[in-house]
């Protein structure tokens, strides 16, 4: 093998490993983001006094994770196009029309675009996830003004118990208690 062929062989192996790493990373981002959003919602729903801004964290997190996945997808496709050229180099064909033309050259062109099946499923996942988290912001269970809770809820509870406010009670009259007499001291030593 010539030095150029050795270089291209190593380069091909390295770039294929990078593609595999990026695909794995996109899946890790998806799983981690779902877990993080679930944890944030679980925490927010179990704490009554929280800041309103906590409900904005999941959509922002989903947006950032989706953008990171998009960047990885663009990089994967960039690597794929370059690997396609390397495969043409190894097969010594100008048009790469051979049956054994390499993985990147064997896939139809429409599957390798930014809107191919892999990209479509990833885009659908992130878009749906973003819509769900954004709708939670709009319809979350905590009102924006906590004082509105008391003024907007009319509580009419019929109870057999009568509650008497303490400020309406008359002062209690307690009879004085005299201390118990002490036993007489004896003059003898014990």
Residue 153: its pLDDT value, please? 40
How many CB atoms within 10 Å of residue 99?
A: 5
Q: Which domain holds residue 103?
A: 3-139
- Kindly report the pTM of this predicted structure: 0.60
In a domain, 158, yes or no: no
pLDDT of residue 105: 52
Q: What is the DSSP letter of 189?
A: -
In a domain, 146, yes or no: no
Has residue 172 been placed in a domain?
Answer: no
The verdict on residue 151 lying in a domain is: no
Q: For the chain, 190 residues long, give each residue's pLDDT as a single digit of tens.
A: 788 888 888 888 898 899 999 999 999 999 999 999 999 999 988 887 888 889 999 999 999 999 999 999 889 888 888 888 887 777 665 555 555 455 555 555 555 555 555 567 888 899 999 999 999 988 875 544 444 444 334 444 444 444 445 455 555 555 566 666 777 777 665 5
Is 36 a member of any domain? Answer: yes
What pLDDT, on a 0 to 100 scale, did the predictor assign at position 102? 56
Q: Distances from the Cα of 152 to the Cαs of 50, 124, 143, in angstroms? A: 20, 40, 11
Q: What is the structure's pLDDT at 69?
A: 93
Closest CA to 79 of 5, 11, 24: 11
Contacts with 112 (C-beta within 8 Å, 6 or more apart), sequence order:
77, 80, 81, 104
> Which has the closest alpha carbon to 55: 166, 120, 133?
133
Q: Which distant-in-sequence residues (6+ apart) come within 8 Å of 26 by Cβ?
A: 69, 72, 73, 122
Q: Is 111 domain-assigned?
A: yes
Residue 61 lies in a domain: yes
Total H helices, total E strands in the chain: 5, 0
The answer to whether residue 155 sits within a structural domain is no
| Domain count across the chain | 1
């Amino acid at each position: 093998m010539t030095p150029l062929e050795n270089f291209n062989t190593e380069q091909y192996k390295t770039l294929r490993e990078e593609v595999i790493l990026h695909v794995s990373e996109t899946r890790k981002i998806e799983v981690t983001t779902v877990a993080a959003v679930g944890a944030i919602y679980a925490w927010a729903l179990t704490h009554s006094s929280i800041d309103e801004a906590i409900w904005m964290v999941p959509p922002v997190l989903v947006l950032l994770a989706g953008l990171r996945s998009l960047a990885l997808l663009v990089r994967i496709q960039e690597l794929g196009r370059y690997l396609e050229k390397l495969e043409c180099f190894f097969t010594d064909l100008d048009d790469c029309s051979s049956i054994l033309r390499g993985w990147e050259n064997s896939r139809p062109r429409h599957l390798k675009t930014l809107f191919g099946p892999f990209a479509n499923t990833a885009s659908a996942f992130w878009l749906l996830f973003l819509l769900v988290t954004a709708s939670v912001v709009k319809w979350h269970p905590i009102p924006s003004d906590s004082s509105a809770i008391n003024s907007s809820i009319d509580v009419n509870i019929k109870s057999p118990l009568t509650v008497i406010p303490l400020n309406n009670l008359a002062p209690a009259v307690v009879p004085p208690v005299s201390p118990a007499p002490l036993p007489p001291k004896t003059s003898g030593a014990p």
